[in-house]
Structure 1
Amino acid sequence: MASKLMQLQSKAKQASQFVGKHGCEYYKQLMEKNKQYVVEPPTIEKCQELSKQLLYTRLASIPGRYEAFWKELDGVKQIWRNKKELKVEDAGIAALFGLELYAWFCVGEIVGRGFTLTGYYV
């Protein structure tokens, strides 16, 4: 256990030294590459204004999203009404989509528990 701790400390020291050497250079490159997204002057007041703009822009987009949701739901209802005309390919795609959703749910549960499988005795 002590050897693992020493290894971890050694890795952390190496990472810290790497960041110390190259962190400033990386920051400069990152800012230069993305300077079109920086608002001048970069003040706290400007940041607060932008965060409010983001919040209210997102709130303003809710009605459009609401309408799009109901259009999608109407499309699904239409497909369900005409399920006798449904092709095997479409049913397969829907089944794979459902399986993927279920798999993400299961993976999310496992990750949420800290990558432990409860209920199994190994």
Structure 2
Amino acid sequence: MASKLVQLQGKATQASKVAAEYGSSYYKQLLEKNRHYIQQPPTVERCNLLSKQLFYTRLASIPERYESLLKEVDSAKQLWKNRQELRVEDAGIAVLFGLECFAWFCAGEIVGRGFTFTGYHI
């Protein structure tokens, strides 16, 4: 355990050296590249205004999203009604999509347990 701590300290020291050396120039370059996104004047009031604009814009987009959801559900219902005409390729895509969702669920569970498979820390 002590050797891992020393190893972790060494990596942290190395990372801080890299950040100290390149961090400032990267920060300046990033701000220069994205200058058109920066709002002037950079005040708390302006940030609060932008935050409210984002919230209410997202809130206003809910009906459009709901309509899209209903279209997707109707499409799935039509596929289910015409399942005898379903091609093997379409069924394969649906199965792969389901497996991918399950895999992401499993990965999320593993991450949530602290990257352990059994739930016990070793």
TM-score by length of 1: 0.90
Give, in whole Å, the separation in 2 of the partners of 1:24 and 1:11.
20
Q: What's the Cα RMSD here?
A: 1.7
The aligned length equals 120
How do 1:20-99 residues align onto structure 2 when only pairs under 5 Å count?
Answer: 20-99=20-99
How far off is 1:13 after superposition? 2.0
Counterpart-to-counterpart distance in 1, 2:114 and 2:24: 34
Counterpart amino acid of 1:36?
H
Whole-angstrom distance in 2 between the partners of 1:15 and 1:33: 24
Cα distance between partner residues in 2 of 1:93 and 1:15: 43
Q: In the alignment, residue 45 of structure 1 is paired with which amino acid?
A: E
Q: Percent of aligned pairs with the same residue?
A: 68
CA distance in 2, matches of 1:100, 1:2: 39
- Segments of structure 1 that go 5 or more residues without pairing to the other structure are none
| Counterpart amino acid of residue 63 in structure 1 | P
Q: Which amino acid aligns with 1:83?
A: R
CA distance in 1 between counterparts of 2:108 and 2:10 reads 32
Relative to the length of structure 2, the TM-score reads 0.90
Which consecutive segments of 4 or more residues in structure 1 shift more than 6 A? none
For the pair 1:104 / 2:110, whether they are aligned, the reply is no
Q: State the distance in 2 between where 1:39 and 1:109 align.
A: 39
